[in-house]
Structures are given as C-alpha cells and as structure tokens.
C-alpha cells in the first residue's frame, strides 16, 4: 500500500510540474493523507491527521488552501453533497475532468466510485438540460444509492 501511495504521489508531482504548478511539501502531505483513505473524508478529519502526523499547529485555513489547490489541479475531488474530499481515482490517466465526472456514492457503506461520464450519457444529459433552457458548467455529478455489497 505504501508503495502504491508513493507511486500516486509521484504521478501527482509530475502532473503538477507538467502544468507549471507546484506541489509544495504541505500539499503533498495532504495528498498523501487523502490517498490513505478509501472513502471520502472531511477537511477537519484531514486537519486532525495533518496535526498528528506533520504539523501540530496547523489551522483550518492550512487544510482548506491545500484542498482547494488539489481540487483545482484535478488531483482530488470535493463531494458537494457530503462536503468531503477524496483523491482522484484516475491520477495515472490523462482524461481530465472537463467532460464531467460521475460519482457513485453508496449511502450504505460510504464507498464512492469515480466514473468519467461517457459521451452518450453526457449528450443525453445535455439534451435534457437544453430542453429546460439550462446550461451546466463542468461540475461533478453525484448519484446516491447502494452498491452491490449493500444491496
């Protein structure tokens, strides 16, 4: 697991460098914390971990600035419905998120799967929105339900 986390951090570093962004040591620490979670996590839970493991005096703005950077860089996502964060499942691929991302949120166990929106789904959604006279920005779409394990 530690090797995989390190590989993911290295990918995040390369993605930042390729875009002229800086993955500072603090941002890298927060990214590592996110990668250590299988389910989405709150900013305050991450702050507690950051204080325990790296920066005892860290304050809320510290974690929020790091999370804002990671989200804007496409390395992490914020689930609006739960106000929780998760590392991008697709760090190694270069699909981007301009087409939108579909998050499948299990209300039973809390697991979240990230599924890039395929073209047919995106086209159908855009047609429906056009009929309503509405144009959506490229925001993630969250679907709540139950995974196969939770039935």
Name the phi and psi angles at 95, rounded to 5.
Answer: -75, -20
Q: Quick check: 96 and 18 in contact, CB under 8 A? A: no
pLDDT tens digit string along 63-114? 999 999 999 998 999 998 899 999 988 776 655 555 567 889 999 988 888 8
Question: Strands across the sheet with 112-116, in order?
Answer: 112-116, 101-106, 141-145
pLDDT, tens digit, for every residue of 3-27?
788 999 999 999 999 999 999 999 9
Q: Quote the CA–CA distance of 137 and 98 in Å, as a whole number.
A: 9
Whether 109 and 149 have beta carbons less than 8 Å apart is answered as yes
Task: Measure CA of the first residue to CA of the last residue in the chain; give whole Å.
Answer: 28
Query: What tens digit of pLDDT does each residue of 110-143 get?
Result: 888 887 777 787 788 888 989 999 987 766 788 9
């Amino acid at each position: 697991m530690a090797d995989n986390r390190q590989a993911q951090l290295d990918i995040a570093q390369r993605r930042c460098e390729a875009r002229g962004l800086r993955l500072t040591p603090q941002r890298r620490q927060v990214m590592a914390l996110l990668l250590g979670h299988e389910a989405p996590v709150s900013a305050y839970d991450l702050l507690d971990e950051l204080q325990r493991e790296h920066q005892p005096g860290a304050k809320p703005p510290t974690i929020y600035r790091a999370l804002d950077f990671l989200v804007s860089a496409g390395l992490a996502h914020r689930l609006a419905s739960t106000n929780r964060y998760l590392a991008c499942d697709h760090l190694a691929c270069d699909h981007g998120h301009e087409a939108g991302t579909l998050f499948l949120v299990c209300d039973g166990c809390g697991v979240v799967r990230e599924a890039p929106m395929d073209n047919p789904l995106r086209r159908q959604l855009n047609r429906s929105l056009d009929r309503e006279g509405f144009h959506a920005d490229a925001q993630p779409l969250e679907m709540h339900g139950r995974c196969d394990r939770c039935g």
